[in-house]
Homo-oligomer: A and B are copies of this chain.
């Protein structure tokens, strides 16, 4: 009965990335069969245990390739206009220059630019992707970016998670306290009314973000509205931002280069996922301090890895490269690095089935010209992503 619609994939090693499945940490199934039906995984296991009805279907050989869950990019600033029209050298204005360029950009062009970047990620195996605002800053401009994000979501074949970055930087010349009132009284109610927000984020860093007090006020307002929160904190200095995440049961806390042990302990108790961004660390150069990886492990904080893609401070557009840098720059094990871009962020983005392959879950998967999952984080720039499927449909590479 189901043999007519299902496709049966064989000649592949599957890394399910399910925890506890085996002692490799990758949930390896060698010489596997994988049955996709109606966008979901209908069966997964050793080929010689494939149940009878599917044995009769004509299988599709993956030629020995490795299959993993589609990758999960949980922290990416894709929504902005490039401030280098016609290829002029990049303006040195940082966030302010990007905000100005984004304001000048027409809606359709902004959608197109964001889709182009999103496709960079999809082609390289990503099937779950965050869409974060933040280059609006003023309430009206942030609401516009949320509408752009909704258009991008509708045009993409992969799952997206939309984040309103409600506290990124203060507008130039604005009084910070007055800006905070506008965020809480204008932006947040209007954004919630407008819909299509999966979570609200604050960027807390005394050096170039908003203050811990203001971040706390925003998080409390959002928490009372029962919207999930997330935090970026302590990138350049310890601003106690890391401690805010567990205080408001945030699912994710990013950067954490300068986060102290008290905050890390609280994250461990609250179940907050640490999102490490080695690409952002790279761009900081010698000014960068690595996040406290050993402490995170000791306190049982789940570790996700992300490109932290953004135009100025983390120009990293390949999630697997971020995992590689997690290994080489931050000392993650290969298994930690790979879970960091699959199972760990998958859970944190509130998609129960993202980042792992299991029966009943969505058929989001990537096929690689590789033999072993360790290859995916050992090399940088290889091996190649051969095919990407979202809900069982090809969305990148050849199929």
Q: Which chain B residue shows the least CB distance to A120?
A: B382
Contact of A120 among B89, B123, B378, B384 (CB under 8 A): B384
A329 to B315, CA, bound (A): 13
- The listed residue (B86, B283, B316, B382) touching A381 by CB distance below 8 A is B316
Closest B residue to A281 by beta carbon equals B328
> In this assembly, does A159 line the interface, its C-beta being within 8 Å of a C-beta of chain B?
no
A374 CB-CB contact with B under 8 Å: yes
Whether the pair B87, A328 counts as a contact (CB closer than 8 A) is no
Known: A318-B381, A382-B117. A374 touches B90 (CB 8 A): yes
Contacting pair B90 A378 (CB below 8 A): yes
Partner of A321, one of B88, B331, B380: B380
Please name all residues of chain B whose beta carbon is closer than 8 Å to the beta carbon of A378 when the two chains form the complex.
90, 315
Evaluate contact between A84 and B317: CB separation under 8 angstroms. no
In whole angstroms, what is the CA distance A329 to B279 when docked? 11
Q: Which of A339-374 contact B (CB under 8 A)?
A: 369, 371-374
What chain B residues lie within 8 Å of A316 (beta carbons)?
379-381
Which residues of the partner chain B approach A285 to less than 8 Å between Cβ atoms?
Answer: 328-329, 331
Q: Residues of B contacting A328 with CB < 8 Å?
A: 282-283, 285
With A316-B379, A378-B315 as known contacts, state yes or no: A371 contacts B321, CB within 8 Å: no
Report yes or no: B383 in contact with A120, Cβ–Cβ below 8 A. Answer: yes
Query: Using Cβ atoms and an 8 Å threshold, which residues of chain B touch A123?
Result: 384
Q: Tell me, yes or no, whether A124 is within 8 Å of chain B by CB.
A: yes
Decide yes or no whether A102 CB sits under 8 A from chain B: no
Contacts of A321 on B, CB cut-off 8 Å?
Answer: 321, 380-381
In the complex formed, the residue of B with least CB distance to A15 is B87
In angstroms, how far is the closest chain B Cβ from the Cβ of A119? 9
Which residues of A from 376 to 395 have beta carbons under 8 Å from B?
Answer: 378-384
Q: Which residues of B contact A116 (CB under 8 A)?
A: 369
Q: How far is the CB of A388 from chain B (nearest CB, A)?
A: 14
B87 near A374 with CB under 8 A, answer yes
Given that A321-B321, A328-B285 are known contacts, is A380 also in contact with B279, CB under 8 Å in the complex? yes
CB neighbours (8 Å) of A229 from chain B are: none
State whether the Cβ of A13 lies closer than 8 Å to any Cβ in chain B.
yes
* CB neighbours of A373 from chain B (8 A): 87
Distance between Cα atoms of A329 and B328 in the complex (Å): 13
Residue of B nearest to A26 (CB): B87
Q: A371 contacts which of B86, B380, B381 (Cβ < 8 Å)?
A: B86
* Contacting residue for A317 out of B124, B283, B325, B380, CB 8 A: B380
Complex Cα distance, B324 from A38, in Å, reads 42
A282 CB contacts on chain B under 8 angstroms: 325, 328-329
Q: Is the CB of A372 within 8 A of B87?
A: yes
Q: A331 → chain B, closest Cβ, in Å?
A: 8
Q: Within A82-102, which residues are at the interface with B (CB < 8 Å)?
A: 84, 86-90
Most buried by B among A84, A317, A369, A381: A381
Asked, given contacts A282-B329, A283-B328, A328-B283, whether A382 binds B90 with beta carbons under 8 Å apart, the answer is no
User: Top 6 closest A-B pairs, CB basis?
Assistant: A318-B381, A87-B372, A317-B382, A317-B381, A120-B382, A315-B379
Q: List 17 A-B contacts (CB under 8 A).
A: A13-B87, A84-B372, A87-B371, A90-B374, A90-B378, A116-B369, A117-B382, A120-B384, A282-B325, A282-B328, A285-B329, A307-B381, A316-B381, A317-B380, A318-B380, A318-B381, A321-B381
Please give 7 more A-B residue pairs, beta carbons under 8 A apart, in addition to A87-B374, A315-B379, A318-B380: A13-B87, A84-B372, A120-B384, A285-B329, A315-B324, A316-B380, A316-B381
